[in-house]
Chain A
Amino acid sequence: MLRFTRDSKTLLSAFAALAAVLVFLGFIFPLSLRSQERENPATVNSISVLIDGQPASPELLELVPIREGDLFSVKNISDSIRKIFKTGLFLDVKVEKQGEENVDLLFILTKQFFIRKIIYFGASDIPRKLLDEGLYALSEGSPFSIDRLEKAMDELRAVLKKEGYLYASIDTHTEKDETISQIDVLFHINTGTRYWIEKILFKGDILVNKSELIEKMETREGKTFIPSRLENDIKRIKEIYHAMDYRNVEITVEDKIFDNAAQTLVLTLRIVPREKIEIVIQGADVPLKLLKPIWETKIFEEWGLSEGEAKIVAYLRKKGYLFPQVTSTIQREGSSIQIIHKVDRKKHYILEDVKFRGLHYFSASRIKRDLSIRDNIPLISRINGARLFEIPAEIKLLYETYGFADTQVVLNFELHGIKATPIFIIQEGQQNKIKAVGFEGISLFNEEQLLQQVNTYVDGPFFQPNVQKDIERLETFYLNQGVRETEVRASVEVVGENLFSIYFQIREGRFVKINTVVITGNKMTKKKTILREVLLKTGDLAFYSSIRETKRRLEKLGIFTEVRLEEVLLTEGIENLLILVREGERNYAGLGLGVETVSEPRSFEIWNNAFRLRGTAEYIRSNLFGSASQLSFVGQVSLREQRVVLSWEQPYFFGMPVESFLNGWVERRERKSYGFDRRGVSLTAIKSLSGNEEMMLSGTLRLARTTLYKLEIPESGVDRQHFPYSTTSVSGSFIWDKRNDPFNPEKGFFLSSVVEWAYPLFKTESNYLKIFSKYQNYKSILPGLVFSATARLGLGRGRIPIHERFFGGGSNSFRGVDYDELGPKDPDSSKPIGGKAMMILNFELTFPLIYSLKNLSGAVFYDIGNVFELRRQVSLQGLQNAVGVGLRYRTPLGPIRLELGWNLDAPEGQNKARVHITIGNIF
């Protein structure tokens, strides 16, 4: 121990030196330890997550794939950053650490915002569509970043420049909704002024009158300068020169002289016509417009000539000149080029049906069906002469897909006078077959299971592309079984003449289970509404088919504009399922105006007219209470009928996956012999019996009160005239729809059946039972030729009021009479009274009319049926018959139909013919 006998200065010096040494040891040594690479790995002591400065919710904590106790590794941190970024929820990810042996990790995440709306201010004379079309960097629904915003502003400036706003300025600001990570982007555009065109000058070899050019242009002296308009003007001027055979004309803006003080500009256009290219076709009447586009760009002349020859030959073949010959030359004179095609059409032939020789594997009908080769049917279909020459390659390809690699196909003709029969002579060759199919590297599944997934089988045809498809099928199979990171390759061995063995080499991944389902992006929608559609839960294997089905079910709710499911791998065999949703607009309002008719169009008087205007208004509010329920209000008004319906729709019914509708309505409707006011409520539940909703079952409970405000038959003909008639009914229906298209069906069938039982409950008078069934069938005989048949049967018993009876007649049931006019009539007023039984059959054949007008078709039809007052009156002798013809024009919502029906059983003195106009199939 030191003795403090010396003077204070010495003491103080010693003290200071010791302190310095100790400080050095105390501070620096640990630092130097930190900077050394550790030989012993550190472990993760704790993990914290901050999102935009706030602690993350427990759900989002699950996104971090590192756990406390894991070994600390920079690579693992890097991988976790990539995985977190891949979820799409975060724009930036940073990880900080503290501590050496026991490391505390802090994940600092910046939320990714998605664009909800893009709003433009200040560019009112520029259509929004133009601005949106020029904007690529940002769009509604896309991720937002400052870099993209900068690019977006450049893009908008480019759009504005094209519209003549050469010095526009753009400011932006954004409005964030932190709760759902969405952002609105607002662009404030100050367009500035545009320039006026003081003068337009033309330079170069103009060849035409300047006034003719100016007439074609929208850009004029005295008008504003709009570059996009000038671009279109240049195209139009080019057309003038093209018409004069100057196909390579160059028109450029040579100069723009701006006067900033006066805000004007002088525009100079230079025109260089280049060579004149004239196309001459000798020996055949071939439209020049077929060949002109070939020479509109600079091409190799040899290529242009052969391309022209090919087009002439194809055109003539279509016309029936099967063996034309074309020779072509180019002649030059000064700056003109003349392209001369000399055509020898040879003889014209009428094509007969195609024949095949040498077929063994396929039948002729099979080849015709697979390659859509039509037979010659007058007015219906004909063989295309040009296509005939392409068919050999198509036949060859068809054979290849079935393992025939060496098939030869030659097209020959049998000529008899003016008729030519095309004959395809086929040498099939040997079929490549599969001798063996094997799997290597499998342990999770057996060979039998895998063989069921592939189309390749022993003794089956060998075609290399099919093997690739099988690889994809196997990869999908593994994914659907919850296995990830499986790799499949195939090796093909030649084991004999035309014999191949295929071995699928599989590097199996591993089974992956779900750790947690993380839901994000929902603001209004309740978590349980989403979880209800999720087919996977913690501990389940990650079946890919279940993930896809979950996505489909969420999309089907109709409340999200985007649904994304991401698998975030945590550790080997464990992953989180991340569900990202973007909620859509919840309010929808619509207005519609249309025309309705139920009678034959005879007059267009406003009040007594046959065509009546009808207006529709609707409002829908979706995703009520975050439960995917929907409330809608629909009102329809015409001069004769009005209807208001309020509906509540929800995807579940007391927790069961049954779509249900609660409707309340008030309506006034007018029929031929009566008019009624009705109000009521109904509850309907619909359950799909098949995944694709082809088969459905529904049940309805209905309570309605009906009052007749108009009656044109005696009171004795109805059950109640002036007092309201109340109905309580329960009905069940079954629908099975296998049509290929519900609006324009060409094949398949439709079956529906409804049973309604009205029982006197709640002091109602209803007491009847009704059943109504409909069956439709469609058959496509040839392309465009469709035969369809419908059968309708309705039976009722009990006391059925007039407004519940069966009525028939009109464009959608029996076309020989007007709407509702089929069946029994009141003897005094001759108005229809309806009945308790109805039977109607319709048969129709539609066919193409004009080959080039694919949407126009004709129809012939035969309707037979009747409405019977009582069930016991139903008989075949009592059925009425009608025939007719019609025109159809196909639209996406069904065909517009104009029909003329002829009632073969109309009473004497009554007009037999009826004209109907409507939209939609009769069926």
Chain B
Amino acid sequence: MILQQKLKKIYVYFTAGIILFSPIQAHLFSFPEVVDRIAAVVAGEVITLSDVRINRAFSVHDVQSVSQVSEDLFILNKLIEQKLIIQIIESDIIIPEKDLETEVRKATEKLGVVRTRRLFAMFGIGWDELKECFREKLLFRRIIFQKFSRSAFVSLKEIEAYYDLTYVPSQKAKGLGPRSMLEIIGDIEAELKQEKIGRLVKEWLDILKKEADIQIMI
């Protein structure tokens, strides 16, 4: 009986305490949250953490890695390369409005209207700011294309070597009969050209990044 009475008292006090203090728990136990910060500085121009988050939220860049931390660094690296190239190359390329709208539409369609609206509200941005993200990406791509598309030449020997050493063995490994070289020569050339351009671009960007004034803060 006495134990029951004691337990009853404990029960009453505890319940009262929970009910009384719950409205301010959110405040007492809330931790400071980093809203934004400098992620990198490229030749005096700032890339903020918000820039990275916006790019990630709207999938401006194709992200291949898994964890969020790696994604952020990948996107940051892309933004650094974009800023660097656009600063160095004085380009008069104008990205047509139509192309920008296509990119923005693709991205927002994936997210849906409600989610898009919520992200706009969360980041405090609108359509213009989002278009600017895509504009920089497209401008970067076009500068690269302009610079390297003609310098990557694929010789017949390289195509033959690829056909003999890569394509045929891979088809056989899958249990498939390889198509003739004449049939797929175009595809092989395009793929090899893409690889070459990718290598040239990477080398060029590595040199530029080494010589540029870049500070990464995160």
User: Which residues on A sit within 8 Å (CB–CB) of B121?
Assistant: 37-39, 41
- B170 proximal to A (CB < 8 A): no
Candidates B7, B21, B35, B217; contact of A95 at CB < 8 Å: B35
Pair A75/B15 contact, Cβ less than 8 Å: no
Pair B34/A4 contact, Cβ less than 8 Å: no
User: Which residues on A sit within 8 Å (CB–CB) of B31?
Assistant: 98
Are A85 and B38 also in contact (CB < 8 A) when A8-B4, A99-B27, A147-B214 are?
yes
Tell me the chain B residues, 176-216 only, with Cβ under 8 Å from chain A. 213-216
Pair B123/A75 contact, Cβ less than 8 Å: yes
User: Which residues on A sit within 8 Å (CB–CB) of B118?
Assistant: 37
Pair B22/A92 contact, Cβ less than 8 Å: no
| Range for the number of chain B residues in contact with chain A | 35 or more
- B129 proximal to A (CB < 8 A): yes
Interface size (A, Cβ < 8 Å)? 44
Pair B50/A26 contact, Cβ less than 8 Å: no
Tell me the chain B residues, 22-74 only, with Cβ under 8 Å from chain A. 22, 25-27, 29-38, 41, 46, 48, 50-51
Pair B4/A82 contact, Cβ less than 8 Å: no
Pair A22/B25 contact, Cβ less than 8 Å: no
Pair A74/B35 contact, Cβ less than 8 Å: yes
Tell me the chain A residues, 1-58 only, with Cβ under 8 Å from chain B. 4, 8, 11-12, 15, 18-19, 22-23, 25-27, 30-31, 33-34, 37-39, 41
Tell me the chain A residues, 51-101 only, with Cβ under 8 Å from chain B. 73-78, 81-82, 85, 91-100
- A833 proximal to B (CB < 8 A): no
Q: In the complex, A879 Cα to B32 Cα: how many Å? A: 93
Nearest-neighbour CB distance to chain B for A155, whole angstroms, equals 11
User: Which residues on B sit within 8 Å (CB–CB) of A96?
Assistant: 32-35
User: Which residues on A sit within 8 Å (CB–CB) of B4?
Assistant: 4, 8, 11
User: Which residues on A sit within 8 Å (CB–CB) of B21?
Assistant: 26
Pair A25/B35 contact, Cβ less than 8 Å: no
User: Which residues on B sit within 8 Å (CB–CB) of A77?
Assistant: 35-36, 50
Nearest-neighbour CB distance to chain A for B201, whole angstroms, equals 23
Pair A30/B25 contact, Cβ less than 8 Å: yes
Tell me the chain B residues, 107-158 only, with Cβ under 8 Å from chain A. 118-119, 121-125, 129
Pair A82/B19 contact, Cβ less than 8 Å: no
User: Which residues on A sit within 8 Å (CB–CB) of B27?
Assistant: 99
Contact string, B1-15, partner A, CB cutoff 8 A, digits 1/0? 001110110110011
- A837 proximal to B (CB < 8 A): no
Pair A33/B11 contact, Cβ less than 8 Å: no
Pair A74/B124 contact, Cβ less than 8 Å: yes
Q: In the complex, A521 Cα to B207 Cα: how many Å? A: 36
Pair A74/B123 contact, Cβ less than 8 Å: yes
Candidates B3, B8, B38; contact of A94 at CB < 8 Å: B38
Q: Please, which residue of chain A has its CB at the minimum distance from the CB of B17?
A: A22
Pair A22/B33 contact, Cβ less than 8 Å: no
* From B4, B15, B36, B48, residue with most partner A Cβ within 10 Å: B36
Q: Please, which residue of chain B has its CB at the minimum distance from the CB of A23?
A: B18
Q: In the complex, A100 Cα to B33 Cα: how many Å? A: 11
Pair A19/B35 contact, Cβ less than 8 Å: no
Are A75 and B124 also in contact (CB < 8 A) when A92-B37, A147-B214 are?
yes
- A105 proximal to B (CB < 8 A): yes
Pair A98/B32 contact, Cβ less than 8 Å: yes
- A517 proximal to B (CB < 8 A): no
Could you list some 6 contacts between A and B, CB below 8 A? A26-B25, A37-B119, A78-B48, A81-B36, A97-B35, A98-B31
Q: Which 9 A-B pairs have the closest CB atoms?
A: A30-B26, A73-B124, A75-B124, A26-B22, A94-B37, A96-B32, A37-B118, A22-B18, A4-B4
Q: Knowing that A23-B18, A92-B38, A95-B36 touch, tell me 6 more A-B residue pairs with CB under 8 angstroms.
A: A4-B7, A8-B7, A15-B7, A41-B121, A76-B124, A99-B30
